[in-house]
Structure 1
């Protein structure tokens, strides 16, 4: 596993040393080096960076401040920080921003490698979980519907709306001549489909929000179909409706 790294330090000699350590470490790849936290932040937002070797005392934006910015970003897939500093009184601050390690200058390659290995160990734990999440997202691009004696794969992006018919449901698809009739219930399909994309708006209808053409206070249209929103679904629908206003 190769980790993309950047080095950030306003002292040219210290920055050059960290860069040389990164380049001689087989599992590290130097993606960039920066003399300020502000310029480093731009690359962090543009590229996938796994590990940052970060000086603490810098003008404009300190290493602690940069780490706090990264720590406040949503999700847990951002880069991890290894602090490099000439001062030993920032250990508590490093702990608060969940830094992987704290290298006290001057440090040698052996000390650097121990810290880098912590970064590799963390990545080996986290990256398989990321890949599993990506696989789950890919699997959720489709649902399988039982049609007579077959399982039919249906792309979620093609679903317009779903109509409940007692023991069956009809799944209406974009650019399809007829709906798919399957032996299941709206409740079962509602549990399978993402609430970010689909909404139950009536006891007999689930709609794809991406396919809605127009809305009023109490109804919506998809294609030529107009659906009145059921009383028990109005709160959720009104939240959705506010996006149109």
Structure 2
């Protein structure tokens, strides 16, 4: 099932576009957001296959939202379609943000349905097909296990045991250091937050600062990681890159 996110502050227009997509009779999940802040939260909690972004949003512009979306590695080449009444904005969008088309208001149902079907049939742009999904191999009881880096929630090391917490489960490896994990995974994919933890910034739900050692709560994952004093500034500086200002 493909996930489509509609970002439009006008409720009537948002509902109209949603209805057009649902009438296509395909296995499509339509998500909605009324501003950029809400849209970015939804796009980090879900894997979006196609974005429809209104250029004019109440908090920041759709163009600024698209730039933030592009900073997330998974969305480097995801389809982005702009909704606009003014074609003048589209030159900037094509050059800087690599959007793939736009729809002018008032939206024509046939045009919108045709482009949706075309893009989802082709899945992602050709350039992404040439980009291998990052992964590592770990050996457990003589078996080599392939783990995709974007599925790692956090890594925890204690008593010479390394635990990889992933969205598909936990893997324990003896005599594997945190330093070795960080040197093996692609640069920036995991960030050290504590002498015993390295975290996936993109999967953070909340950071609890009420305790001396901050706690990290992740999306759809019960266990927590920690942020030690030595690493607080670095983690927060990285997190700020993903903030959508209201």
TM-score, normalization by structure 1: 0.52
* 5+ long unaligned stretches in structure 1: 145-151, 161-172, 176-192, 199-208, 211-241
Find out whether 1:118 has 2:119 as its counterpart.
Answer: yes
Matched with 1:141 is 138
Find the aligned partners of 1:129 and 1:28 in 2 and give their Cα distance.
26
Runs (4+) off by over 3 Å: 74-79, 124-130, 152-157
RMSD across aligned positions (CA): 4.1
* 5+ long unaligned stretches in structure 2: 147-156, 161-172, 186-194, 197-229, 232-246
Q: Of the two structures, which has the highest relative contact order with CA contacts closer than 8 Å and spacing of 6 or more?
A: 2
Find the aligned partners of 2:145 and 2:16 in 1 and give their Cα distance.
52
Q: How does 1:146-157 map to 2 (within 5 A)?
A: 153=143
**What is the Cα deviation at residue 197 of structure 1?**
4.9
The DSSP-based 3-state class of the residue aligned with 1:103 is strand
Q: Deviations over 1:196-245 (max 9, x none)?
A: 259xxxxxxxxxx98xxxxxxxxxxxxxxxxxxxxxxxxxxxxxxx98xx
Q: Deviations over 1:57-88 (max 9, x none)?
A: 12211111100111223455574311111111
The DSSP-based 3-state class of the residue aligned with 1:49 is coil
Contact 1:22 1:30 in 2 (8 A): no
Aligned length: 163
Distance 1:53 1:76, change over 3 A: closer
Distance 1:141 1:101, change over 3 A: same
Contact 2:80 2:100 in 1 (8 A): yes
Matched with 1:109 is 109
Structure label with greater radius of gyration: 1
Find the aligned partners of 1:18 and 1:102 in 2 and give their Cα distance.
14
TM-score, normalization by structure 2: 0.52
Find the aligned partners of 2:127 and 2:23 in 1 and give their Cα distance.
24
Matched with 1:88 is 87
The DSSP-based 3-state class of the residue aligned with 1:89 is helix
**What is the Cα deviation at residue 91 of structure 1?**
1.2
Find the aligned partners of 2:140 and 2:174 in 1 and give their Cα distance.
15
